[in-house]
Structure 1
């Protein structure tokens, strides 16, 4: 049976040659992965292929479960070779794994499929020689890549920054060098990850890996800047992207990050407004940062917020971070909340305001008789001292409830400061 073999990535011919040479010498299947267990290049089969290897070759990337398993074994923290145990339920045979490191950097993972025949001393020595050669080649490639990434990061940072001269210079450079087109639809997405137990540098690598596919799609060209636990993606679309398009993109990024990072790592994503010219990317970026705050503070958004969908929250979230506290709540609402009001009154008030003061719709939503609803509304008016037939009074209470949601729902205090 002829299998599809994915060869090295562009510029990886030297790596492919080393992997192929080692495989032929060992008579075993060999694969070189990056630090996130994504295949860089692989050898041909030697009759030792397993389910994970076959699926990876056909799909171009390992299953999420297989990636999570390898990462859960701490392979990326290993300082010396070791054996990755088999997982029959995943269709994974044991692998002899060698972390490829150079000058403190984890550059990749060399894996050799282990069958019933144990590796001999000579074979282990051959693997060690190949690993040293791979480390030298990959480190040289990393140095060149780092220069490109740093230049990209600086251009994006200047394009979305607040210095108008630097914005103009970055914009001109990007367009003249063909890195990004002038328009017609520009969108900026901001991503933030809370560091938990992930090894240093792993978050940056994961952000690059998750966002890289969106630098060039059938619908858009983009440029990426990653710094620490944050990333900014500037995209220029041929046609205006729909809310569903951007939501799908964000969920794909979030899913990738949760595959690559430790369980429980918090990921929040904010999408800025749709702008026209590339020169207006900074406006979309500012809006994306506001959306990022919404994604962090409102659990119902599930970590993803789009400026275009935030409505009145876009105004409230312009307030400084340290100003978003209980002192902002209007006194009448505090009286309702602090005066021993039960949850039914708060729920009733929220529903009544959400339904624009319509008694029939509120009663239907709450599934209560109108007489009961009128009784609750009278209680609310008595406690707050406000008239619910007065539009200004209703606005005070509605704004207060919105603030209450922002103040009381922070999900990641350690990452609350936007920068």
Structure 2
């Protein structure tokens, strides 16, 4: 089941009045959504409500499938108003959508339910006039919100930065402004995007929307820093977070981002270590960067890396990017891979080492007889020239296999 995060900020009374006035004039349901199709304010019904509209009123936003459908129509990039087709399977009637822009900034979407997909000229003029007034009003609110977000970003980045003096100053400022509570358990989460085809404002809006629900919760007080392709969530908690709680939070953030952004954004999340003082927030941040790197390199993590679950990979991933290549693979391991039946032998070796050299558990996992396993292990020793009873030799091969997991697909095949 999809867990709903904090809804978009409710519109001002002035914006609500403009929406109600337009709806009464048209005799149609009208709403203003934010750029991520989350409801800001809406009018009463006029007998044209559909399941998506009703669900939005109950939940505070449409479900993910409806949001994704609307965004896939490219409405946030439309230069002028237009219709989007209805979708019976989604419970969505056709809508007339007007991008609300002011000085180049997309502030939201004016949405009018139009089941017949046609508007009279006077209706179109009324909508255009209302849209102009709404955009002007929303621009002032956007300026104020952007200033607050910028101040919060600077504070969060200083708290996770390497400069001790800057961290001390930031902590004092945060406490004076009431942004930092007394809780001392610290957790830093980093979100990274590959934004090749995404508009910057869309990416920033999506990052904020996915994280804002975690700024203030029953167990955490947080700060958010949003950049073009990266976001940082710094959380102070009154108790150490349970692993299941962290995993659920991470999954929800990814779910939101995958709803709001195209697949090309390919979001990944890195969760830092859990620390017991705000002074160690910078350490959790650095660990979160490593975990995000793991999430990018290891498909098995499905976009989410956690420092406390990385083990030795956390050490290997601190190697410089240029150094993390096939040259790190031990020669005996390369020889094994290039041999006849190398893939099978490599998988056998990995299983054997992962099970700490246990013959019974390795044979059971591989589903083979112990005699067959002994035969394969003898082959591995003959090909590599290494002794699997020697701890140093085992470590060489095991680290080599781990490095191979981290290599890009183009080089990992050579492992």
Tell me the equivalent position of 2:328: 328
- For the residue of structure 2 that corresponds to 1:236, the secondary structure is strand
Tell me the equivalent position of 1:189: 189
Tell me the equivalent position of 1:99: 99
Tell me the equivalent position of 2:62: 62
Q: Is the 8 A contact 1:33 1:40 kept in 2?
A: yes
The structure-2 alpha-carbon separation of the partners of 1:410 and 1:35, relative to structure 1 and needing over 3 Å to count, comes to: farther
Distance (whole Å) between structure 1 residues aligned to residue 84 and residue 63 of structure 2: 16
Query: Which stretch shows the higher mean deviation, 273-282 or 35-44?
Result: 273-282
Distance (whole Å) between structure 2 residues aligned to residue 389 and residue 27 of structure 1: 82
Q: Is the 8 A contact 1:298 1:409 kept in 2?
A: no
- For the residue of structure 2 that corresponds to 1:201, the secondary structure is helix
Normalized against structure 2, the TM-score is what? 0.94
1:220 equivalent in alignment to 2:220: yes
- For the residue of structure 1 that corresponds to 2:269, the secondary structure is strand
Distance (whole Å) between structure 2 residues aligned to residue 359 and residue 122 of structure 1: 81
Q: CA deviation at 1:342?
A: 2.2
The structure-2 alpha-carbon separation of the partners of 1:323 and 1:9, relative to structure 1 and needing over 3 Å to count, comes to: closer
List runs of 5+ in structure 2 lacking aligned partners.
Answer: 1-6
Large movers: runs of 4+ above 6 Å:
none
Tell me the equivalent position of 2:366: 366
Distance (whole Å) between structure 2 residues aligned to residue 339 and residue 249 of structure 1: 45
- For the residue of structure 2 that corresponds to 1:23, the secondary structure is helix
Q: CA deviation at 1:208?
A: 0.6
Q: Is the 8 A contact 1:9 1:41 kept in 2?
A: no
The structure-2 alpha-carbon separation of the partners of 1:184 and 1:117, relative to structure 1 and needing over 3 Å to count, comes to: closer
Distance (whole Å) between structure 2 residues aligned to residue 308 and residue 319 of structure 1: 18
Tell me the equivalent position of 2:134: 134
Tell me the equivalent position of 2:4: none
Q: CA deviation at 1:255?
A: 0.6
Distance (whole Å) between structure 2 residues aligned to residue 258 and residue 264 of structure 1: 10
1:253 equivalent in alignment to 2:264: no
Query: Which stretch shows the higher mean deviation, 85-94 or 132-141?
Result: 85-94
Query: Which stretch shows the higher mean deviation, 32-41 or 189-198?
Result: 189-198
Tell me the equivalent position of 2:312: 312
Q: Give deviations 1:148-191, integer Å, cap 9, x for gaps.
A: 11111111111111111111111111122110224321100000
The structure-2 alpha-carbon separation of the partners of 1:116 and 1:404, relative to structure 1 and needing over 3 Å to count, comes to: closer
1:236 equivalent in alignment to 2:206: no
Correspondences of 1:172-211 after superposition (within 5 Å): 172-211=172-211
Q: Give deviations 1:24-55, integer Å, cap 9, x for gaps.
A: 11111100000110000001111111111011
The structure-2 alpha-carbon separation of the partners of 1:293 and 1:9, relative to structure 1 and needing over 3 Å to count, comes to: closer
Q: Is the 8 A contact 2:336 2:342 kept in 1?
A: no
- For the residue of structure 2 that corresponds to 1:109, the secondary structure is strand
The structure-2 alpha-carbon separation of the partners of 1:8 and 1:70, relative to structure 1 and needing over 3 Å to count, comes to: closer
The number of equivalent residue pairs is 405
Q: CA deviation at 1:265?
A: 3.0
Distance (whole Å) between structure 2 residues aligned to residue 370 and residue 227 of structure 1: 55
Q: CA deviation at 1:362?
A: 1.1
Q: Is the 8 A contact 2:194 2:264 kept in 1?
A: no
Tell me the equivalent position of 1:414: none
Distance (whole Å) between structure 1 residues aligned to residue 224 and residue 70 of structure 2: 27
Distance (whole Å) between structure 1 residues aligned to residue 310 and residue 409 of structure 2: 16
Distance (whole Å) between structure 2 residues aligned to residue 201 and residue 138 of structure 1: 16
List runs of 5+ in structure 1 lacking aligned partners.
Answer: 1-6, 412-419
Distance (whole Å) between structure 2 residues aligned to residue 380 and residue 120 of structure 1: 79
The structure-2 alpha-carbon separation of the partners of 1:9 and 1:203, relative to structure 1 and needing over 3 Å to count, comes to: closer
